[in-house]
């Protein structure tokens, strides 16, 4: 079976919309548990204006604390940046993988960054190359790749044009993000087929929201097309605060539970992920979208599989 990467984005995308502020020590406890579960990459936070996104005010401190732990054998620590100042903060804080991107929607781009798509693309490529020069890994993304909450349909040709610009700049770790949750499996297959056809060195990632109930279906469509990195959030928490209808991410524990049924993610401790999801739900005092933290995992997942002759 292929090796897949699980990129936990709960500490960033999961928390960024929450009005109830989570204390630093509670965030730290959730992140540390995820770090011990065998997840490949954990997105600790974003380096944004704390007045606009208060939940991200302690991102620098979280990186400083977590970066003191031995790196050998632990997940990669990722962080989101939107501008050059954020990149400077991220480099100083010890970010190992920088995530940055542009929207394929002009309206979403301006609401999210205050820039046009072309302006944002020019700046992101410059920042990505600067991060590379600083010795850091980089993943670039295309947000609203499958549709926009404000504009509706987004040109698939425009998405691939942006991806081609990344590739021409030498940036081949590329995520297609379903910011508004409009994606459906046929569209996922088309876009990832076109993306992976641009260059043999592309490492494709996906980021799906479950706004209209197709999150897991889209995950499997992406898996079938050769996508190897999957971004998800504990308990399905989260959503983009700069889209029209915000909804949660695909839940990490649901993705891992499902993948383990087909022989993937066998190194991940599902029980630890479920514990984190339950703690997150209890903290916010409401039912969250994830399923497996409520139902519990299938008991026979831990048993050897029977192979028919």
Catalytic residues: 240
Return the exposure string of 63-99: e unless at least 16 CB atoms fall within 10 Å of the residue's CB, then b: beebeeeeeeeebbbbbbbbbeebbebbbebbbbbbb
Tokens of 199: 């260059």
Return d(Cα 259, Cα 274) in angstroms, integer: 15
Tokens of 72: 């050998």
The residue written with tokens 């003191």 in the block is 68
Full 3-state SS string of 155-217: CHHHHHHHHHHHHHCCCCEEEEEECCCCCCHHHHHHHHHHHHCCCCCCEEEEEEECCCCCHHH
In this structure, what are the phi and psi dihedrals at residue 201, rounded to the nearest 5 degrees?
-95, 0
Return d(Cα 146, Cα 166) in angstroms, integer: 18
Does residue 44 contact residue 79 with C-beta atoms inside 8 Å? yes
Return d(Cα 274, Cα 33) in angstroms, integer: 10
């Amino acid at each position: 079976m292929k090796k897949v990467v699980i990129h936990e984005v709960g500490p960033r995308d999961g928390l960024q919309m929450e009005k109830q502020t989570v204390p630093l020590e509670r965030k730290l406890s959730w992140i540390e548990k995820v770090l011990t579960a065998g997840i490949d990459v954990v997105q600790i936070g974003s380096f944004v204006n704390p007045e606009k996104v208060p939940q991200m005010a302690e991102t620098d401190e979280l990186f400083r604390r977590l970066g003191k732990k031995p790196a050998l054998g632990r997940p990669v620590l990722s962080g989101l940046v939107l501008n050059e100042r954020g990149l400077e903060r991220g480099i100083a804080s010890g970010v190992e993988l920088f995530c940055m991107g542009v929207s394929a929607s002009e309206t979403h781009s301006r609401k999210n960054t205050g820039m046009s798509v072309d302006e944002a693309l020019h700046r992101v490529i410059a920042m990505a190359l600067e991060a590379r020069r600083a010795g850091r890994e980089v993943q670039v993304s295309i947000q609203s790749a499958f549709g926009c909450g404000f504009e509706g349909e987004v040109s698939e040709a425009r998405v691939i044009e942006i991806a081609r610009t990344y590739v021409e700049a030498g940036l081949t770790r590329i995520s297609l993000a379903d910011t508004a949750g409009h994606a459906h499996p046929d569209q996922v297959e088309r876009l990832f087929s076109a993306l992976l056809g641009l260059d043999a060195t592309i490492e494709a990632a996906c980021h799906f929201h479950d706004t209209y109930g197709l999150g897991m279906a889209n995950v499997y469509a992406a898996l079938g097309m050769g996508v190897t990195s999957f971004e998800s959030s504990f308990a399905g928490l989260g959503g983009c605060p700069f889209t029209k209808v915000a909804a949660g991410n695909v839940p990490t524990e649901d993705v891992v539970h499902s993948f383990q049924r087909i022989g993937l993610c066998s190194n991940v401790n599902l029980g630890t992920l479920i514990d984190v999801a339950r703690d997150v739900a209890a903290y916010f005092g409401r039912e969250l979208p994830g399923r497996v933290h409520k139902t519990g995992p299938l008991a026979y997942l831990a048993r050897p599989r029977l192979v028919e002759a």
